[in-house]
């Protein structure tokens, strides 16, 4: 499960791609507890990355990816109950708002 980005992106190879496919699936998701020693506040941070391919067909045929997108965010109380994959997927969709679920 991933998204198709309907906007154009510039790749590290000097080309532009429209319709790139992004997925979190092959990557690990870490949720780490963080403490602020001054305020004694405790927060939880989600860290993961999404892999990007030129399109979904390239992903399905095991072609090389064209890049990675890092996702890092402090979780809200509600997000702590949703699960890491749901939060990461929603964050990815927010980064690429002109997308289509695939």
Per residue in 58-89, pLDDT (tens digit) is 999 999 999 999 999 999 999 999 999 999 99
pLDDT band at 40 (very low <50, low <70, confident <90, very high): confident
Q: Is the pLDDT of residue 1 over 90?
A: no
Residue 100 counted as domain residue: no
Overall number of domains in the chain: 1
Range of the domain at 64: 3-95
Cα gap 16→8, rounded to integer Å: 6
Residue 72 counted as domain residue: yes
Cα gap 11→85, rounded to integer Å: 26
What pLDDT is stored for residue 34 in this prediction? 94
pTM of the model: 0.90
* Residue 42 φ then ψ, to 5°: -115, 130
Q: Is the pLDDT of residue 54 over 90?
A: yes
Q: DSSP assignment of 2-59, as one string?
A: -EEEEEEEE-TTS-EEEEEEEESTTS--EEEEEE-TTT--EEEEEEEEEEEESSHHHH
């Amino acid at each position: 499960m991933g998204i198709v980005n309907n906007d154009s992106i510039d790749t590290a190879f000097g080309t532009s791609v429209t319709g790139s496919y992004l997925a979190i699936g092959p990557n690990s998701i870490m949720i780490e507890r963080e403490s602020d020693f001054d305020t004694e506040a405790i927060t939880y941070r989600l860290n993961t990355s999404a892999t990007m391919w030129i399109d979904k067909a390239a992903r399905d045929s095991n072609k090389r990816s064209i890049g990675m997108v890092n996702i890092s965010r402090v979780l809200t109380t509600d997000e702590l109950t949703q699960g890491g994959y749901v939060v990461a997927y929603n964050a990815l969709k927010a980064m690429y708002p002109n997308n289509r679920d695939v």
